Amino acid sequence: MAGRLKGKIAVVTAAGAGIGRAIAQAFVAEGATVWATDINREALDAVPRAKRVKLDVLSDRQVVRFAEKVGGIDILVNAAGYVHQGTIFETSDKDWDFSFDLNVKSMHRMTKALLPGMLARATAAKSNEAAAGAREDFASRNRTCSIINISSGASSIKGAPNRYVYGATKAAVIGLTKALAVDFIAKGVRANAICPGTVQSPSLDQRIASLAASTGKSEADVRAMFVARQPMGRLGTAEEVAMLAVYLASDESAFTTGAVHMVDGGWTL
């Protein structure tokens, strides 16, 4: 089903690595015009054929300027995030504030800045259909805009050890997503959350190295611990998450909004 996103314009944050990169690459492969953003501009070179832009999603000013440059879009993927390790006792006020700023408020910033253009694009699509006689085919009935927020199984879905503030932020992402979905359900904009389990990524490699250093265990033992908690007996891949994002971005999922989608190898069962 190549070309599932043909004619659509997408923005993906944290597209320089991991899940964000895999989503941006998959969107390009499916025919979308992709604005790939990351705080590390050089990392975006791994997303050829995308419009690559350095963007700090913690900056209100940069986000607003970016939205003005991009204009109307069809798809927004909020993939920027940070995993803090620790219980409440290892969570400083600085850790708390940074985690919520990056994991939750960045989604608020990006969505607030880009949503007007999405609404305008959704309205224009409906107007064009009406002028053309409202053709009764799949494409005309199901043209929508899509917001996809990356949450986590460690959230309101499931508690995870040493994920105190991370779990709180990802639970907030689910609440934010549902609120967006209900507010714009009749205006052509959908919002859904993806909740990955443990996925192989540069971020995971860093966490494994850090945890090994702090506990005195080998990195191999720490990695085995992460694998062992997955009922399927393996880690997920960023590409597996990206395929779900393609579906949610496409008009194939036009009847789906406000939903929480697990891609976790059964971890939250």
CATH number of the domain bearing residue 75: 3.40.50.720
Query: What's the predicted TM-score (pTM) here?
Result: 0.92
Beta bridge partners of 192: 148
Where do runs of H (alpha helix) occur along 42-92?
Answer: 60-70
Q: Are strands 51-54 and 145-150 parallel, antiparallel or unpaired?
A: unpaired
> Quick check: is 3 in a domain?
no
Ranking 77-81, 189-193, 206-210, 243-247 by mean pLDDT, the lowest is 206-210
> Quick check: is 105 in a domain?
yes
Q: What token pair was written down for 1?
A: 């089903």
User: For this structure, is 166 an active site residue?
Assistant: yes
Half-sphere exposure of 104 (CA within 13 A, CB side): 18
Q: One of 82, 164, 166, 247 is an active-site residue; which one? A: 166
Angle formed by the axes of helices 106-131 and 164-183, nearest 10°: 20
Burial of 238 (0-12, 13-18, 19+ CB in 10 A): buried
> Quick check: is 20 in a domain?
yes
- Residue whose structure tokens are 């990195």: 219
At CA 193, angle to CA 189 and CA 199, rounded to 5? 140
What is the span of the domain harbouring residue 72?
Answer: 9-263
For residue range 32-62, what is the model confidence (pLDDT) as tens digits? 999 999 999 999 999 999 999 999 999 999 9
- Mean pLDDT over each residue of the chain, to the nearest integer: 93
Please tell me the distance from the alpha carbon of residue 201 to that of residue 102, in angstroms, as a whole number: 18
> Is 14 in a helix, a strand, or coil?
coil
> Quick check: is 269 in a domain?
no
> Quick check: is 83 in a domain?
yes
Q: Residue 137 has what pLDDT?
A: 53
Q: Residue 135 has what pLDDT?
A: 55
Tally the domains of the chain: 1
At CA 190, angle to CA 186 and CA 196, rounded to 5? 155
